[in-house]
Structure 1
Amino acid sequence: MSYLDTITEEIKLTEHINLITSNGLKYLSIAHPKATASISLFGAHLLSFTPTNSAPVIWMSDDAIFNGVKAIRGGVPICWPWFGPAKESPTVQPLAKTQEYPSHGFARNSHWQLLSSQSNDDSCLIRLQLTDSPESKRLWPHSFNLIAEFIISDTLTINLTTYNTGNDNFDYSSALHSYFQISHPDAVSVDGLDQSTQTPRTLTGEVDIVCENPSATIALHDEQLQHTINIENEGNNVMVVWNPWESGAKAFADMPDDGYKTMFCLEPTIIGKKAVTVTAGHSHTLTTTLSVTPR
């Protein structure tokens, strides 16, 4: 993949985790008997996850840009502390809505700190941290400590915990903007997007919807790959379902024109109108756990 084109340094952190520097950016490469994965410290961005003897679970654009400035197309971007355009988010200060603020917040465009990494025969545990700074307070005037925790085994868990380290309460919205690898749109269906209707949803064209009554577990079935990706979520209040289809893919410089055929976004999300309030000294966690079962 392009982010490993020029490796200038590789440090072994544990038996299963290496810290790689490539083109000036840092990545964690995980090679465990139960799964392989990779994480960019830019954005605390999961780039890949493949359980042993399984097809890849996570989709990454072949044209993704890894320059430490632009958000990476594919993987699991972290949208925080707002989701969607800043001007439409009630969690953004009114003044910010008159200026050019990044869509989906600033966490996915920030360089994170590696807090810890450990591994054993069962799993790998990685924790990354982002804290407030003068630049973040220009965009969002709150004190915070944001921890992204990745537990990698034959399953993958991402815990995104928002700590309010200031003296005032704040509201935030967020998403784990998961891009899933699929074989072909005709081969997939989804269960659990709305608890009131358990009818599978199929992918037949451009889709960008908010499902406001999702089950705790979403099932993405792929008949061609003969497996189901199970997506268990906590801390979200909606699921966002997205595929840009042909016209949308062509509009993205960092996605192949046919990229829409092999990706499907199912995103545990906290939307602005249902923003979470974190009181001073407290925290809130958004979690997704991914597993694969054969069909």
Structure 2
Amino acid sequence: MSYRNTITDQIKLTEHIQLVTSNGLKYLHVAHPKATAHISLFGAHLLSFTPASSAPVIWMSDDAIFNGVKAIRGGVPICWPWFGPAKDSPTVQPLAQTQDFPSHGFARNNHWQLLESKSNNNACRIRLQLTESPESKRLWPHSFNLIVEFIISDTLTINLTTHNTGNHSFDYGGALHSYFQISQPDAVSVAGLDNDTQTTCTLDGYIDIVYKNPSTVITLNDKQHQHQIKIKNEGNNAMVVWNPWEAGAKAFVDMSDDGYQTMFCLEPAIIGKNAVTVAAGASHTLTTILSVTPA
């Protein structure tokens, strides 16, 4: 990650957490005996997670752009308050049909506030916050308080909580757009994607599938890395599986031409007409918990 070569300031927040500045942007570096991780405050974007004695779990593009404008390629982008093109989302106002609203919402393209950083011998806990602004109201006319919590230990927990701070209910969609590090495409398979069919998904070409009745626990098996990644999700109504393959990778300026060979996106999502309704004063949480075990 190129930003790590241009760090200009470092502040120790806890024994295991540092706040660093690079090119005017802020990042959290976690170095705990149980795991390491990196988080960008731009987008509240998890950039890496590596348990002790394990291969990296999260994939990051070698050509990712860290400019505080473009969403970062790789890691776990937060798609919110809609998923996919704005014009296709039922949670977006009709104005999106005619104007250039950002794909996957605006949370991943905004700077978040650090609310809390704690650590002890068992884990590190980090909480970041995003609230409405004139620009967010232009895109999505609702009052909200969006909080993401990262719990970093030998497992990783991400809790994305949407608080409705307005006087009327709203619908929202989104996803934790998780890019997983894999050894090579023919070494991986995924089980538990659909409660109806119990099929196993393999990776041998372009894939972009939405599973609308996903299991709570999904398993990514990697024979080459000799491990399993357990992905436990709550609060989602779908699971998105995506790899752009060769043609897609070549079309991205922020992914190397062969980058598709070492990544696989498995995304707990809230999509479609069944997007979540949050009443005034209420909240909803989308959660993913990642754990790694030997295969």
Flag whether TM exceeds 0.5 (same fold). yes
Distance 2:211 2:142 in 1: 29
| 8 Å contact from structure 1 (residues 82, 272) kept in 2 | no
The answer on 1:55 being equivalent to 2:55 is: yes
Q: Which amino acid aligns with 1:206?
A: Y
Identity across matched positions, percent: 80
Return 122-131 or 87-96, whichever deviates more: 87-96
Distance 1:198 1:40 in 2: 36
Alignment of 1:240-259 (within 5 A): 240-259=240-259
Deviations 1:89-141 (A, max 9, x none): 01000112210000000000000000000000000000000000111101110
> 1:82 corresponds to which residue?
82
| 8 Å contact from structure 1 (residues 48, 56) kept in 2 | yes
Distance 2:229 2:35 in 1: 15
> 1:235 corresponds to which residue?
235
Q: Which amino acid aligns with 2:231?
A: I
Distance 1:129 1:72 in 2: 18
The answer on 1:201 being equivalent to 2:201 is: yes
> What CA RMSD, in Å, does the superposition of the two structures yield over aligned residues?
0.6
Deviations 1:49-77 (A, max 9, x none): 00000000000000000000000000000
Distance 1:14 1:97 in 2: 46
Deviations 1:244-290 (A, max 9, x none): 00000000000000000000000000003211000000000000000
> 1:217 corresponds to which residue?
217
Distance 2:243 2:292 in 1: 21
| 8 Å contact from structure 1 (residues 170, 279) kept in 2 | yes
Distance 1:44 1:185 in 2: 29
| 8 Å contact from structure 1 (residues 172, 272) kept in 2 | no
The answer on 1:165 being equivalent to 2:165 is: yes
> 1:294 corresponds to which residue?
294
- Displacement after TM superposition at 1:200 (Å): 1.6
Structure 2 gaps, min length 5: none
- Displacement after TM superposition at 1:199 (Å): 2.8
> 1:185 corresponds to which residue?
185
Q: Which amino acid aligns with 1:119?
A: S
| 8 Å contact from structure 1 (residues 218, 230) kept in 2 | yes
Q: Which amino acid aligns with 2:233?
A: N
The answer on 1:264 being equivalent to 2:264 is: yes
Deviations 1:196-248 (A, max 9, x none): 22232110100001001110000000000000000000000000000000000
- Displacement after TM superposition at 1:6 (Å): 1.0
Distance 1:191 1:3 in 2: 35
SS of alignment partner, residue 167 of structure 2: coil
Alignment of 1:46-195 (within 5 A): 46-195=46-195
Distance 2:144 2:167 in 1: 10
TM-score (norm 1): 0.99
Q: Which amino acid aligns with 2:137?
A: K
Q: Which amino acid aligns with 1:183?
A: S
- Displacement after TM superposition at 1:5 (Å): 1.9
Q: Which amino acid aligns with 1:165?
A: T
TM-score (norm 2): 0.99
SS of alignment partner, residue 64 of structure 1: coil
Distance 1:97 1:150 in 2: 34
Distance 1:198 1:92 in 2: 33
Structure 1 gaps, min length 5: none
Distance 1:109 1:36 in 2: 24
